[in-house]
């Protein structure tokens, strides 16, 4: 799925800014490499936030953010001068995809913390039941 999404992104980017000197093959290679890094770092970031290991979570979040930004940076660095309307459109798209990514990560963290709390509450109830059986 990641490869398919990267191919689609490369085609869209090539169609949008290919006339301004962007090499779609380099973009695709950067996007695929970034997807591998992101696929490795994002779950670690989420799990560390769930477990309240903030120092590790921030480390993984920083690496994940870098992987997220690198393909977009190449669009700006790998092209000649872009028209203002294309720059504005790219910034809006990058902002929207970043917002969606953050929203998805926050949802996963909340879901993970809720599952952890539910599991802890279930264990607590089982211990209370066992103690009640022993005391009677």
| Nearest alpha carbon to residue 89 among 2, 4, 15, 3 | 15
Residues 6+ apart with CB under 8 A from 109: 46, 49, 50
pLDDT at 94 over 60: yes
pTM of the model: 0.79
- Rounded Cα distance between 136 and 63, Å, is 55
What is the extent of the structural domain holding 38? 2-135
The string of pLDDT tens digits covering residues 33-48 is 999 999 899 999 999 9
* Angle, CA of 1, 23 and 73, to the nearest 5°: 75
Q: What is the pLDDT of residues 19-76, one digit of tens each?
A: 898 898 999 999 999 999 998 999 999 999 999 999 999 999 999 999 999 999 999 9
Band of the pLDDT at 136, cuts 50, 70, 90?
Answer: very low
What domain count does the chain have? 1
């Amino acid at each position: 799925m990641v490869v398919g999404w990267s191919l689609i992104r490369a085609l869209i980017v090539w169609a949008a800014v290919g006339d301004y000197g962007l090499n779609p093959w380099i973009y695709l290679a950067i996007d695929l490499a970034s997807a591998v890094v992101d696929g490795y770092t994002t779950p670690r970031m989420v799990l560390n936030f769930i477990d309240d290991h903030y120092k590790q979570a921030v480390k993984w979040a920083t690496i994940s953010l870098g992987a997220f930004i690198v393909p977009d940076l190449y669009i700006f660095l790998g092209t000649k001068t872009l028209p203002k309307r294309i720059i504005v459109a790219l910034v809006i798209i990058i902002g929207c995809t970043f917002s969606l990514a953050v929203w998805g990560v926050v949802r996963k963290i909340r879901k993970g913390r809720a599952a952890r709390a539910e599991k802890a509450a279930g264990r607590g109830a089982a211990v209370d039941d066992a103690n009640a059986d022993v005391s009677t």
